Structure 1
Amino acid sequence: MHGPANGPFYAIYYPVLAAVGVPANSVAIVILSRGRCGLSLCISYYLLAIAVTDFLVIITAVILNRIGGIYFRYSVLSTTPGCTVSSVLVYATRDGSVWLTVAFTIDRFVAICCQRLKTRYCNEKTALQIIVVVCALSFLKNVPFFFTYQPLYIIENVPWFCDIIASFYISPFWQTYLWLDRILTPFLPFFFIMLLNALTVRHILVASRARKRLRGDQKHGDPEMVNRKKSIVLLFAISFSFLLLWVTYVGHFFYVQITGEAYFTGLDFNDPQYIFQETTNMLQLLSSCTNIFIYAVTQTKFREELKYLVMYPFITIIGCFHR
């Protein structure tokens, strides 16, 4: 995130995104924590962790960074320490969400394609360990961003706003760190998700053909293959949603590197460069509130739990009247 968004469209978009993202992820957290979606504990832990980090992305990136920058221009969040901490938290929660998606993809790849490793790797203990490590490394990796900001100006000894230090764009150290940051998020996740999904599809097709040969001309469907195909719908939906909503972010990074232009910080909201830059942020943040809709579409028991959660207040009220 490079500075708060401005302009009437963004002033509407981000509050709407927060109004959808906060309750959506909250509902996902409640439903997944109940453990009644018919999913293994291993899968539930990964999806719950993704929902929590997505919720934190909405809080830090959308509410504190974007909405705070638009509607509360001169609050404590706009002081240099405030926006520095906010920016680092945005990067840390973003990376956590992305790499937990990768971890979930790896877990499903092992479960489907590596039967010998499945028992040792696809279990609750391993899932919890990976989640903790991913979250810790996501924070540590972004600590250097604390040192990339300086005050835009100082009023009565109070530093206001965050301006990127000039050496960030010319120093070999910072350029190396920037490339490392972009390689780790999202280039490597892009690579891993596409590769593992391709290998998973290949394995499923080969296994499906082999089982058809073994089963011969039986007219009834193969329950095992039906269940296996259902189990990967969730994986592919989450993966492709991530790839689709992050692809402009990757394109914008290449544009900046090829043209040599800095990230746009001007005030012309109709400037194509500004629109392109802010579109990448909008789509990237949108990816933090789409998973619950994916769960609702692909998982029958999740839909049942969602209906129950929505109807629960009404059921409680009706029960009180009956008593």
Structure 2
Amino acid sequence: MTKQPILQVKQLQKQFPLYGPFGKLGGVKQTVHAVKDVSISMYEGETYGLVGESGSGKSTTGRTILGLTEATAGEVIYNEQDLTKLSKAELRKFRRDLQVVFQDPFSSLNPRQRIGRILEEPLIIHGIGSKEERIEKVFSMLEMVGLQNEHFYRFPHEFSGGQRQRLSIARALIVNPKVMICDEPVSALDVSIQSQILNILKQLQQDMDLSMLFITHDISVVRYISDRIGIMYLGTIVEEAPTEKLFTNTLHPYTQALFSAVPGKQKRERVILKGEIPSPINPPPGCVFHTRCPFATERCKNEVPALREIGIEGSQHKVACHYAEETKQWSN
């Protein structure tokens, strides 16, 4: 029996209109193609890592999946419902199952409320438990993320960056969600604190049978925490595979360049990319990577490569490159 995904994203697109000096009265002048035809399947208890350089559309993808940003096209299927077709009132019913941890925890915590109230609020909104049960649940979550009971009475400004991120995780998990999207949750933290937060996430995922979409630009972090990884470039997925398979058999030229830039003890050929990532306002035709790819041909400039499975059937290794079998493979 084929395992069914808990969350399925199909051909997701997000475009942002750019207006002239007169705003909407002057009409749309240009369009930002932030996310283009992204398809992701997430399974129960799995961590899917989404990696790419700044401006590749990772965070926009996460926000669009959650409905925080309205999708231009595509589907987000959860519990047999297409979330992109629901009204705000209908989508609110699914908020308990779909939670998010943002990159900057301080901006998502109300500075005027004590931590106990901040963590209790999701339970109140979703009508979970009595007052006594909610308070007990808050103390329990504080302990689960490595904080103490005395923190219940403090304000957000009294915590360090790592502690505030723990609070964000506690607030997201207190309603027992099925899927959690982590948008660069450790990028602003010291390395020692990063490892603590990652270990907390892994432990809580096992305890709560949680599925996670982990968005990051850090290759080492995504390798540690992810079961599968998708590599994103200019709004599209260019390669996807189980974590160790991707690191031992890297196929797409962009992934090779990305991984070769990671400091480490392994001997690897450094791949230097020329130029900058193109503007999403005017993306190149054909393969989105052809302007920087050392293997690009005329076919790459005119024909969009499909994200296709490589190797034996069921390998789960997909790559969007016309010449994936011919390019030099890099292994770690």
Which TM-score applies when normalising by structure 2? 0.22
Select the structure with the greater relative contact order (CA < 8 A; seq sep ≥ 6).
Answer: 1
Q: Which has more strand, going by share of residues?
A: 2
Structure with greater Cα Rg: 1
Which TM-score applies when normalising by structure 1? 0.23
